[in-house]
Structure 1
Amino acid sequence: MQMVVNNNIVCSVDDKGNEIIVRGKGIGFQKKKGMTVEEKDVEKIYRMDSQKDTSKLQELLSEIPPEHFETCTEIIEQVENDLNKKLSRRIYITLTDHISFAIERKKQKIEYENALLWEIKNFYSREFECGVRALDIIEKRLGTRLSEDEAGFIALHIVNAQLDTKMDSTMEITRLIAGILSIVRRYYEIELNQDSLDYERFLTHLKFFGQRLYKNKSAKKEDPVFHDMIKERYFTDYHCAEVIRDYIQDTFHHEVSADEMVFLTVHLRRISCAE
């Protein structure tokens, strides 16, 4: 045992010498550094992806009220259950740090406005629902009700943990998607039906498209002949894709490949015909 966080959480090492965080009812009660962790008392072990992350989590646990971490572990487990997905282990650091800071700010009557709240609600609806449920857990366990803006911030942390990206990239992708949808509305002079399957497909494509841009990856390679055929056959939609490409290059300084232009044109064709 390396550190006792509270009665239910301790920092320890496994049989291979890797640092771990261990949770169990009463596992830290009347324990001190150097004592042995009884296996029968262990309910859950948290293993980070690197020694650096483990050290960060241990440092965080030494700085915040232990109930903040316990609350966040409940939230993360609930999210993984709701989404049926395993999240990046870094969320134990990032989300715990964010929520603990948000609670302290709330006590001081300092609240941040989430400028991307509308986009988060519409682009990441399931994650936002998880964020709202997280507010309920926080209120139940800690007696503090955070704002809807915080549900949006929590949703972004969940998105990050699914993609294993940084917060600034996720926020940029969210802004990028909003900009593209605005271009589509103006270009085709239509209102997009957010309840339609075509809209959902297009939104999904844009999310993956944004991820590829920020990870410097490209879509599946296409035949140049196929590219030219798409460009000629769907020239109106391809021109919209060119407007989007120029917007991305000018605003976000990312290049859009010819292969991405093909995929974007096909999705634009589908959604423009549907509307």
Structure 2
Amino acid sequence: MKIKKILNNNAVIVLDDGREKIATGAGIAFNMKRNDRVIAEKIEKIFVMRENAKLEQLLSRIPEEHFTISEEIITYAENQMNTKLNEHIHLVLTDHLSFAIERAKEGIYLSNKLLHEIKILYQREFEMGLWAIKHIKERCQVEMPIDEAAFIALHLHTMKPKGGDLHQTVRQTEMIWDMVQSIKSHFMLTIEEDDISYQRLIRHLRFTLTRLSHYELHRMDEEMSVMIQRKFPLAYRCAREMAKNLERQHGIELPEQELGYIALHIERLRKNERL
């Protein structure tokens, strides 16, 4: 493998069997120049991506340390999940983290309104996000807010096999946030994020939206639905109002069959609030 271009001390573009690849490793380009052969023992990763040009551009513009930190986080996540993430993660997470670190150095922090929902829906990835912000602090002495752990969690989740599209994942989580706000506003509820009833509601709303996206309805016996409406009229009315808000804000229509199940979760929240 011969060096075609040096991107930084830890990354080079090489020619291998006539193909351009990006090889990375600690000090891989130290005292090297164009057309030198890469020392095989220094190669830690080789990238053959459709987005090599974008990665090359990114590596030439950001501090080397940011790419190294990103790769360490990716390796940690892959080990924790025992799976390989989509190759796109090397580009998008590095870009995201580098920008976030530079913002933090300037004292600029972005809040994540979906923080609580992400903690519940993607708990495993969020824990990796917490490890990541701790790792960033240890490596470059930059303090990151917990909100950043949630942003990282979304990137890790959507880069898993069958993890889904980032835009769609964020949109679904925003819809869940809006649904919860509608419920809280209806009853003026104060909900603790570690409340198991709240966590069950969040998960059920995600399953509901996922089923709808696949045109799968959660059928409830009509007699059971009528019984829920009679026994928990306030919760059912809240569920209907929430459904109307969802349709108005996002164009998503919840079928009647789903409202009974959601009403049961709402009633459980109301019950806990009254205790």
Superposed pair shares fold, TM > 0.5 = yes
Distance (whole Å) between structure 1 residues aligned to residue 253 and residue 15 of structure 2 = 45
Q: What's 2:58 paired with? A: 60
Q: What's 1:5 paired with? A: 7
Matching residue's letter, 2:28:
I
Contact 2:217/2:257 (<8 A) preserved: no
Matching residue's letter, 1:220:
E
Number of residues paired by the alignment?
A: 262
Q: What's 2:129 paired with? A: 131
| Aligned-residue offset at 1:250 | 0.6
Deviates more, 1:143-152 or 1:66-75: 143-152
| Aligned-pair Cα RMSD in Å | 3.6
Q: What SS is found at the alignment partner of 1:63? A: coil
Q: 1:267 to 1:109 in 2, by over 3 A?
A: closer
Q: What's 1:30 paired with? A: 31
Correspondences of 1:63-212 after superposition (within 5 Å): 63-162=61-160, 163-167=163-167, 169-184=168-183, 200-210=199-209
Matching residue's letter, 2:175:
L
Correspondences of 1:225-264 after superposition (within 5 Å): 231-232=225-226, 234-235=228-229, 241-256=239-254, 258=255, 262-263=257-258
Matching residue's letter, 1:4:
I
Q: 1:254 to 1:268 in 2, by over 3 A?
A: same
Distance (whole Å) between structure 2 residues aligned to residue 186 and residue 103 of structure 1 = 36
Deviates more, 1:73-82 or 1:202-211: 202-211
Deviates more, 1:246-255 or 1:85-94: 85-94
**Alpha-carbon displacement from aligned partner over 1:209-240 (angstroms, at most 9, x marks no partner):** 44566xxx3243678xx675664454457765
| Aligned-residue offset at 1:65 | 1.0
Q: What's 1:42 paired with? A: 43
- How does the TM-score come out when normalised to structure 2? 0.73
Distance (whole Å) between structure 1 residues aligned to residue 265 and residue 8 of structure 2 = 56
Contact 2:183/2:239 (<8 A) preserved: no
Structure 1: unaligned runs, 5 residues or longer: none
Contact 2:117/2:202 (<8 A) preserved: no
**Alpha-carbon displacement from aligned partner over 1:146-201 (angstroms, at most 9, x marks no partner):** 2333333323333443434235x444323321232344456688776765766544
**Which ranges of 4 or more aligned residues in structure 1 deviate by more than 6 Å?**
186-193
Distance (whole Å) between structure 1 residues aligned to residue 242 and residue 55 of structure 2 = 41
> In percent, how many aligned pairs have the same letter?
34
